[in-house]
């Protein structure tokens, strides 16, 4: 099974849900075993929810995407310009999740 | 998906979709349009005069950290001629405020602005940790809100500033509009969208980020690598505001203009004069000289309740009556130093840049 390696970062308070650790090295299969399609950002969100998230899932995921108020960046670009959950992940991509819901 | 080109400069790679307009722009154009829009808000609302002394209410959080950066940039770029200060309130919350104050101290050095930290302990003789240990976690936010508001004015008076700017953004204001509607607080609804507020003799307060979306503030901090503190207050977050916030984010996800639309709705309400009149500041507190609508200001009432071990005195009518039935306040009661508005030059010490 081929895999891809990603750098995943959480900030803006979101790191508290992930062992209070901001930066994580993540290795996931390059294709989704259920659909045999290339792994996309939505697969990654589910993977993070099922494998890395330590508490309070509702603060990270809502139905099939991140909770409103969480910004996602793909290699420093707003994921809204990259197709959001449909973005197909590449080896060495850097994905950043930032909560905007915490303190001013 | 092929990389898209910036809609403004048409050369660099687009990195952000603007929530207000849907425009796709590059990092440098984003900095420029974000800063320019704040500048336009400042100019159109005539917020400042050359020579004004302006304190930035700095919590170490994202909004005030970005505000400090943008205020410094604009003051230099457009020669506003402002003297800028950082003003922080230390509520005395271990593990929360002490950490965020470290962020403010770094801001002080990065932006070369004098910093004044005023603590609840210094002003009221009570930290929030001590208040919570007496009153529990039910009404502690009332104490904190009343004490913070007055502490900001007093800190500003100590710095002899004319004006306090705060980091409230468009999302915060839309949230407040929703909350005032849901509570039926029409007088507050009439005031909460004002970009600048000034009582009879209070220090001006304004919100240069009134039209700035939270998403853009966070992206600005991210792209500029500004460091900010983002832990929620450990003492009971404001649950009602939390629900309003989540609701607003859901609306925004469905239609990004929702935030500005709600602000416009708030602005469009015409509040009758007699409703406004009931909210006006009529007098000053007989004990501490701060603006008040009764003989005693809210902070003095809350403080007396704490000092006399009847914390509910400042919260409910019943508590107040109970306190009064115990007789007048003792002579040796701790009080807040008498409030005087600034005249002449400041005489207080500010944190040294070291
Ligand atoms: Zn550009
Ligand atoms: Zn008073």
Find, in chain B, the residue whose alpha carbon is nearest to that of A66. Answer: B253
By the 8 A CB rule, do B126 and B120 touch?
A: yes
Ligand 1 center from residue B212 Cα (angstroms): 19
Indicate the Cα dihedral angle B215, B221, B223, B224, nearest 10°: 150
What would the CATH number be for the domain defined by B35-279? 3.40.50.620
The predicted pLDDT at position B345 comes to 47
Region B79-98 average pLDDT: 91
Question: Tokens 């950066």 map to which residue?
Answer: B69
| SS3 label, residue B133 | helix
Nearest ligand atom owner, CA of B24: 1
Query: Which residues in chain A touch residue B167, judged by CB atoms under 8 angstroms apart?
Result: 104
Most trustworthy range by pLDDT among B32-41, B266-275, B297-306: B32-41
Element housing B173 (H / E): helix B170-183
* Residues placed in the known binding site of B: 57-59, 63, 89, 167, 172
Q: How confident is the model at residue B174 (pLDDT cuts 50, 70, 90)?
A: very high
Number of A–B residue contacts, CB under 8 Å: 75
The predicted pLDDT at position B91 comes to 92
Query: Is residue B200 scored above 70 in pLDDT?
Result: no
The predicted pLDDT at position B35 comes to 98
Rg (CA), chain A: 13
Chain A interface includes B25 (CB < 8 A) = no
Domains in chain B: boundaries: 35-279, 281-339
d(CA A48, CA A54): 10
CATH architecture entry for A3-99: Roll (3.10)
Ligand 2 center from residue B313 Cα (angstroms): 14
Query: Is residue B353 scored above 70 in pLDDT?
Result: no
Does the ipTM exceed 0.85? yes
The pTM for the full model equals 0.90
Least confident segment among A80-94, B19-33, B112-126, B197-211? B197-211
d(CA B341, CA B135): 32
Domains in chain A: boundaries: 3-99
Indicate the Cα dihedral angle B332, B152, B155, B166, nearest 10°: 170
Question: Tokens 């529990």 map to which residue?
Answer: B136
By the 8 A CB rule, do A84 and A65 touch?
A: yes
Find, in chain B, the residue whose alpha carbon is nearest to that of A84. Answer: B1
Residue B90 — φ and ψ, nearest 5°?
A: -100, 105
Return mean pLDDT, chain B. 87
Chain A interface includes B169 (CB < 8 A) = yes
């Amino acid at each position: 099974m081929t895999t891809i390696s990603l750098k995943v970062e959480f900030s803006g308070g979101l790191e508290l849900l992930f062992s209070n650790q901001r930066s994580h090295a993540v290795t996931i299969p390059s294709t989704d075993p259920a659909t045999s399609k290339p792994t996309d950002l939505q697969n990654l969100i589910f993977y993070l929810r099922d494998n890395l998230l330590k508490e309070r899932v509702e603060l990270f995921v809502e139905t099939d995407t991140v909770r409103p108020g969480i910004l996602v960046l793909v290699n420093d670009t707003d994921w809204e310009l990259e197709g959001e959950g449909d973005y197909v992940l590449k080896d060495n991509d850097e994905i950043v999740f930032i909560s905007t819901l915490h303190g001013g | 998906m092929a990389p898209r080109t910036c809609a403004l400069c048409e050369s660099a790679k687009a990195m952000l979709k603007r929530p207000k307009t849907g425009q796709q722009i590059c990092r440098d154009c984003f900095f420029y349009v974000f800063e320019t829009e704040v500048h336009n808000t400042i100019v159109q609302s005539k917020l400042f005069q050359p020579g004004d002394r302006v304190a930035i209410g700095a919590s170490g959080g994202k909004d005030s950290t970005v505000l400090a950066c943008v205020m410094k940039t604009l003051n230099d770029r457009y020669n506003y001629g402002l003297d800028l200060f950082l003003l922080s309130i230390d509520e005395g919350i271990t593990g929360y405020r002490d950490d965020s104050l470290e962020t403010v101290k770094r801001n002080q050095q990065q932006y070369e602005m004098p910093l004044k930290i005023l603590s609840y302990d210094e002003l009221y003789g009570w930290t929030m940790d001590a208040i919570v240990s007496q009153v529990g976690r039910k009404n502690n936010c009332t104490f904190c809100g009343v004490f913070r508001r007055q502490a900001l004015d007093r800190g500003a008076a100590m710095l002899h500033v004319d004006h306090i700017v705060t980091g409230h953004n468009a999302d915060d204001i839309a949230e407040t509009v929703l909350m005032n509607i849901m509570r039926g607080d029409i007088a507050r609804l009439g005031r909460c969208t004002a970009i600048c507020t000034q009582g009879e003799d209070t220090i001006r307060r304004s919100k240069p980020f009134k039209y700035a979306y939270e998403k853009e503030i966070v992206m600005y901090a991210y792209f500029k690598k500004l460091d900010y503190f983002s832990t929620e207050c450990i003492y009971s977050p404001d649950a009602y505001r939390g629900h309003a916030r989540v609701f607003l984010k859901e609306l925004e996800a469905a239609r990004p203009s929702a935030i500005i639309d709600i602000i416009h709705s708030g602005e469009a309400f015409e509040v009758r004069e007699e409703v406004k009149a009931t909210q006006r500041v009529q007098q000053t507190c007989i004990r501490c000289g701060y603006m008040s609508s009764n003989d005693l200001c809210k902070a003095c009432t809350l403080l007396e309740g704490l000092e006399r071990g009847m914390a509910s005195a400042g919260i409910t009518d019943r508590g107040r009556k109970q306190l009064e039935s115990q007789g007048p306040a003792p002579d040796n009661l701790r009080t807040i130093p008498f409030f005087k508005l600034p005249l002449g030059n400041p005489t207080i010490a500010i944190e040294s840049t070291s």
